[in-house]
Structure 1
Amino acid sequence: MKALLLITDSPQQRTQFQNLPDETCTLFTAASHDEAMEFLHFTKIDIVVAAFDGRLAPAIPSFEQAKSFHPHCITIFVVPPVPEGVVSDEGEQPGCDFTLRRPYSREELIRTLDQAIEKQRMVEEIASLRHQNTTPPPSAAALQVSNDLSLARIGQILRDFTKAFSTNFDMQSTLDQFLDALSTFLRPSRMSILVRHPHQRIFEIKASRGLVEKVAEQIRLREDEGLARWLMTEARILHRNEAEQAVQGSAGVNVARDMQVLKSAISIPLMASGKLVGILNLGERITGGAYTEDELDIVFSLASQVAVGIQDIELYHAMQTQKIFTEKILRYMSNGLITIDTQEKIRMCNHRAAEIFSMTWAEVLNEDLRSLPSPLGDMLYETLHDGINYHKEEVMVTDKRLPLEVNTYQILDEQLKLVGGAMVFQDMSSYKQLQEERRRANQLDFLNKVAGRMAHEIKNPLVSIRTFIDLMDEHYEEADFRQQFSTVVRQDIHTINVLTDKLVGFAGQIAYHFEHGCVNSILGAIERVLCAETQESSVDFVDTYVPIQSNGGEDKPITLECCEGLPKVQFDAEQLHKALMYIIVFLTQVSESQESIRIVSYQDASLQGDVCISLTGSQVKVEPEEMERLFDPFASEHNTLVDVGPCVSQKIIEEHGGQLEVDYKKNRDLVFVMSLPPAE
């Protein structure tokens, strides 16, 4: 990766260069010429950029010094904006390779840098080829072979090396101890260790000796080019003279340049599991001598062990990070969580679970499964041993009267072997309380509606009664008046009585007296009542029901079809009688046809074998879109309290353990189907 030195006193210019992509180059910044000299002295710079607000003088010595220290570097001058009234100031620009006029866009900056990088690469390749033609290749004698490695010296390096692995997974201390051991063993002038970034494809210096700190902090090597790529491919020790003389092409130039930036004479790969974990760089010896093969062989072996240690430390810290992340999730999650192992010991209990149980997690951890409140322990035991998984199971904790929603499941390892069980549960107290408050609010709203509708429904018959009472003194002697008065008042009082009876059945608690019997007996009784009443009078047929009468005033008989051999069901004869009559009355009122209401009893062919009663009315006035509101007496403002009949019937049938369903046919037939389970 190319090294770029930006010399500027403008925070805006510094920000623009810092926002460049990381893979473009390694960025060093200096605010003055003196600060720039520190970088030029201690590291190899490929590109120098000078950007000053309206001042040309500081750029000239910076460019001259850069060329003297690094002849192959490329210079770029950022030209200030042209002042008003000035046509051009190109004559005042310093000698440089590229210029960039302010203001400039991000695309223009990247394009100029790409051109500078390409030119610098070509200059280095040409210089490398010329150097190869004039310099003989290195001889094998350049590496000294020494036999002066005494046991005492080897023992000392091993003792120093073991200190690096007693730092309790501290990466920085491990690398520092390793460099200290090498410093004692080899006495190099400079050393550095680069480690691969955990999230980016770059290597950065984690520990160094003899390098300027602010220079070392900025050095980055890309893993897919230069020194890192060569070491990853070859997996062996690289000497700088080998990189400068024996390696051909632009790739070789990049390798040599990276070693020059790091001030490295020897680069050693830190390999673990076939991967390049880091790079160890050794500068020249302080004595000026060469490293021996034995010394480098020992260092390579130690470096491989350090690479394994680096991997283990990174894995440890990754696990610690994941552990902390998981613990925070468990701490702040709204549900309780408990896990057990195959020995039925509690291995995890988060804070919410302990809070629900009014205990601390330390009191629960490592305790036996039986320490959990009933029935939670039994449920978790069944999940662990019998594989019974509970999903959103509502239970009541016995000793605390606490409602919980529980989920359980088995825990399996990668080989699908059972290693434990887990339970996730939620305190439903607030939810139950909210439901109760909502139920009470609905009841209050319902009572308000009932009171208003009741007053309206009762007012109509009372008006007729009051009218006749006002006229009684004047017309009492008239026989026709007395007969009409008796009929109207009796009918209006009957209407009030029916409304009251329906409302009591709909809003109140019904006391049932169940018995076992056949529904055909109820249907027969209804048929007898209807036939007797319609023959005697069209006014009413039973005290609790309104007259079955069409809009035209003609009575509507029923057609009854009873299936023989039906199983017995459990019912309250009086209430079931009411439920059927309410449906018959409703069908009579909404039917426009002169056809009779058809009632059929039969047994359902399903596995449950429910006993069913269907009631069918023809040519009804109910529209299909009104079907969903049929069992809601207050869904429409045009409904009257007489319409609560189907609602009361539905309530009675459901409290018998059955269902009441309605179906609208294409021929405008309306079919109610009552289903009751057979008695055990």
Structure 2
Amino acid sequence: MIRKCPLGSWFAQLRLRTKFLLSTCTLLSLLLIFLLIIVEKEQRAVITAELEKRGRTIAGNLAAVSVKSLLTYNYVTLEQDAEKVAKDEDVLYVIILTKEGKVAAYSGRDEKQGEVLKDPVSQKAMHTRSPLVQTVYNPVTQEEGLDFAVPVFVPPSHERWGVVRVGLSLRAMRKEIARTRRYITGLGLLILLIGIGGATIMAQRISSPIQQLVAGVIEVARGNLYHRIRVESGDEIGHLAYQFNQMTVQLLHQRRQLEIKHQELNQKLREISLLKNYNDSILRSMTSGVITLDLQGRIVTLNAMAEQLLEMPLERVRGVLLTDLLPDQTFTSLLLKTLEKGESLHQNCSVRREKGDALPISMTTSLLKDDAGKVTGILGVFQDLSTIRELEQQLRRADRLAAVGTLAAGVAHEIKNPLVSLKTFTQMLPRKKDDPGFLAKYMRIVPQELDRVNTIVEELLTLARPSKILLRPTAINDVLAHSIELYREQATAAGITIREEYTPDLPPISADPDHLKRVFGNLITNALQAMPQGGGLTVTSQLVHLKVTEVPAYQNNMHSSGGGSQSTLEFVPFVAIRFTDTGCGMTQEQLDALFTPFFTTKGKGTGLGLAISHKIIEEHGGMVQVESQPGKGTTFTVLLPFLYPA
């Protein structure tokens, strides 16, 4: 944008060529005037000095000639001498004064003889005792001149006998000065014309490339980056033109690069738009709920499924703190704990909605990070487990029906053999009641078969009805040692070595020691029976910590409470009791059916021992884990909590 100059700054509005010409002419004019003044001054001084020298010489010579005439008062001779001197063209007058100050001779003015001149110049000259030069003006002739007064002395006396005055005209000097002035002025005008011509040429040479530069700038400003300026000199302007051309080349290169980048950005923008639409479509189509929070815990996004499951429209809850919407819930604490710990978390929990109903969900959380790895928020993905819970219940009902069928078949199979024996003896009793051998056999077998039926029924009742567990502080190492002592002789007789490795000073657990002895007895019995050729049994105890998500008893408790106080637990302490034998081991099919009632890998037994043991441990809030490989042995791990889940 061109700035408007004030009216007083008219010079700034002129073109560069005009500025250069005006500046050159002004400078030359000032130089000529200065030169004229200096020359005139010097010439005036020289001519004046010459004129003064001539005037002093004429006056001095006349004074020397007039001494005798003044002494003798020979005025005629004085007049003749004065007229002779006055004949020179530039001599205005010649005056000879007596010692009394009277005119003795006055060239061309005889009437003044004997008078005393009263004008200031005459008065000053009359009393001078040394050569005196004064400026005079003749009003009659209107001429300016110099008056030279020389006193007349008669050596060796110092008495003054008169004064000789000679007036010289300055007309010749002024003519010479005027002639010199005209010469210098003409020469200056010639030089000025030559300077103006040279300045015009120089201004043309300077302004033409600049005009080309201006035209080039205008073309570039219009977007024509292909415009080039012709470089015709190697001076600063030529260098400027060269740099301007280089600049346009760089601008053209940069514009092409920007066009390429612009195309790339447009392409990336289209890709990002497509990706956003694709991601939005994925989020809308997901059967899992997705929620994101910022670092302050405010809701940023909810997908459609999350809005449906949480019964929260995004438009209403965007920017609201999740702790204000879902306070004191595992759902909220799990998301915030992810930011606090800086790691992903997974947990099954429940979320209580505005209507008050609890929705079981499976929740996975992680941190949101930008390209630089900086945490920007929290991501939560959760699934509705309601359908899964219903399917699990249906499956459990089916399993219970299947178990009832299996149990009925087992019961029928186990009881059938004793009943067949009892039926046979009952049918034979009327015919052989008098046979002592038959009666002895009857009295021995019938009670055994009845006891067998009774045992099966008792174990079925133990498996079917809740056990009467009396929890009290129990030293688990003491219970293990007591259980092993009951089977040590049997193990020694079978060639089996029992090794005990207990962690000392384990804190007491809350358990029923009598029920635990039954469980440990079943596990030891199974281990001894799995090693008919002898071997080794190692029993260990140690303290372990399990995640809450790995303990079904705690998970079930949290689901039923809707994410209550126990949701604050992350790890719970357990005591792990392991029974490791070197027996025959089991196949995967056998492991899958291991805790099924009436399943057994031995030729004797009811197959209810492990099922009952598994039930007792679950009622303690614990778990039973089995690891086995055929030919390498089996490890039973019993996990019992120190804090029994309420």
Q: What TM-score comes out, normalization by structure 1 length?
A: 0.44
Whose relative contact order is higher, 1 or 2, with alpha carbons under 8 Å and at least 6 apart? 2
Choose between structure 1 and 2: higher helix proportion: 2
TM-score if structure 2 supplies the norm length?
Answer: 0.46
